[in-house]
Amino acid sequence: MKNIMAMMFLSLVSVNSWADDFKALESILGTEAKVKITLGPGVLGMARMFTKDDQEAQAVLSGLKDLSINVYELNDAVDVDDIGDWMSDKVRSLAKHGVEEIIKVVEGDERVHIMAKVDGMILSDLSIMVFEAGDEFVYIKLDGEIDVAHLKDLTANFDVDVDVLETISLNL
């Protein structure tokens, strides 16, 4: 019973932390997410059940506990420096908790940060932040584990280019 209570408490802390992240981001962006997808353990369990004949889907879903995807449409009024500062603060905050920045791309007003705890080829506590000034901000947070080989499958539908994963080797 103590283990169940501890797990429930940790889940609530994780969800509250995520909610705080999204609130702070929405305050800076001056808008709510136009697309908001939150998949908790129940929905992910049903997804695993419905995709039991799809090995690729099962491989991606098997280690997931929670997944949150928020897409914000932006206008030119959003301050690029404020977003950059928020992203840098988020990267530092995650790093204090053992999360590594495994991919960083800064090109003009476009920024991509992919951060995770790394254990061999397994990633956990994954955060993906993609910002393109005047276009959109995509924020994906994943609780659970995913094999690097399946990360591309997870991000393929969200216009997040992670082809670089095929050519890098992680310091493991």
The predicted model scores a pTM of 0.72
Q: How far apart are the C-alpha atoms of 7 and 31, rounded to whole Å? A: 33
- pLDDT of 160: 54
- pLDDT of 156: 61
- pLDDT of 92: 93
pLDDT digits (tens, 9 = 90+) for 32-82: 899 999 889 888 888 888 888 887 778 878 888 998 999 999 888 778 888
Give the residue from 162, 170, 120, 122 showing the smallest Cα distance to 145. 122
Task: Assess contact for 59 and 150: CB atoms under 8 A.
Answer: yes
Task: Assess contact for 162 and 103: CB atoms under 8 A.
Answer: yes
Which residues partner with 123 through β-bridges?
A: 118, 146
Task: Assess contact for 29 and 72: CB atoms under 8 A.
Answer: yes
- pLDDT of 167: 45
DSSP string spanning 7-19? HHHHHHHHHHHHH
Instruction: Please work out, in degrees rounded to the nearest 5, the angle formed at the alpha carbon of residue 68 by the alpha carbons of 85 and 154.
Output: 100
- pLDDT of 70: 93
Q: How far apart are the C-alpha atoms of 36 and 72, rounded to whole Å? A: 9
With a cut of 70, list the residues of the chain below it in pLDDT.
1-19, 151-172
Looking up tokens 């960083």 gives: 104
